[in-house]
Amino acid sequence: MTKKKLWLVVSVGMLILSALLIYWFYFSKPDSFPENGRLVQDINSLYPEAEAAVIQDTIMTDEYHAFVRFITEQGNYGMSFWSWEKHKWNVSTIDTSGGPSIWKVNEMDPSTYHLVWNGLPENQIQSMNFYFLIKRNFRISDGIEEYTPGVQMKKELNRLEISRGIFKIPEEWVSVLNSYSELEAAKQPSMFDTMFPVSSSFFAWNAYDDKDNISYVGLQAGGSSFHNGQENIEFVRFLNEMEIE
């Protein structure tokens, strides 16, 4: 075999090996999810302030992402968000407030959005409601009048659903979100919009007790969060009765 052919064989072999290594490192199927003891160790190692003590449950949102709730040494409630990256399970976000948040597993795909929470005393509330809202708006830009109708979509959870701590947004919400995103993307932004962008859509929540009074239980004071990845997790605000149409 000539040196030229030998070099070609070696080059092809190295190329194939590199491709296999890249696939193994970035695209291989996830290993089994770590056991609870390892989860506690990883959470506290990455963010000692979490002081995680007990893992409550693990919920896989898909093959590559997991939501893990835990209880701290002080008896508070926390959340952690995990993803399979670079051939290992990594905790990307840790939150010790437990307050409702929206987890956009894939920000470009609303069908992957999950509402998550921990520490709501389901024995003290009769129902919990989540909302997707678009603010009613009227404006004039470059002489063109534009009216955006308001949207309020509601999903009521029962006590069993409340205890799970995770809720995938309904398909109807996904359809509206996709339509709204397409409409916003099609608009020609003015200079004012570019300088001062305003989000007209948001998620919210509230809860009611057995006497049908709005309840503020579960709004933990304090808490903190730690981010170590690209997960998009946003706070979901409480919706007062006067804001409900």
pLDDT in tens, 122-131: 677 888 999 9
Mean pLDDT of the chain, nearest integer: 82
**Tokens describing residue 220:** 């933990």
Q: Where are the beta strands (DSSP E) in the chain?
A: 52-62, 65-72, 77-85, 88-95, 101-104, 113-116, 127-134, 137-141, 144-148, 151-157, 166-168, 201-208, 214-215, 225-227, 232-235, 237-238
Of 129 and 19, which is predicted with more confidence? 129
> Confidence class of residue 205 from pLDDT cuts 50, 70 and 90?
very high
Domain boundaries of the chain, sorted by first residue: 36-243
Which range is least confidently modeled, 79-83, 90-94, 169-173, 239-243?
239-243
CB atoms closer than 10 angstroms to residue 48: 10
> Confidence class of residue 227 from pLDDT cuts 50, 70 and 90?
confident
**Helical ranges in the chain per DSSP H:** 3-22, 36-46, 159-164, 171-186, 191-195
> Confidence class of residue 92 from pLDDT cuts 50, 70 and 90?
very high
- Given a contact cutoff of 8 angstroms between Cβ atoms, the answer to whether 94 and 47 are in contact is yes
CA nearest 99: which of 205, 215, 241, 202? 205
> Confidence class of residue 3 from pLDDT cuts 50, 70 and 90?
low
Amino acid, single-letter form, for residue 110: P
Q: How far apart are CA 161 and CA 122, in angstroms?
A: 9
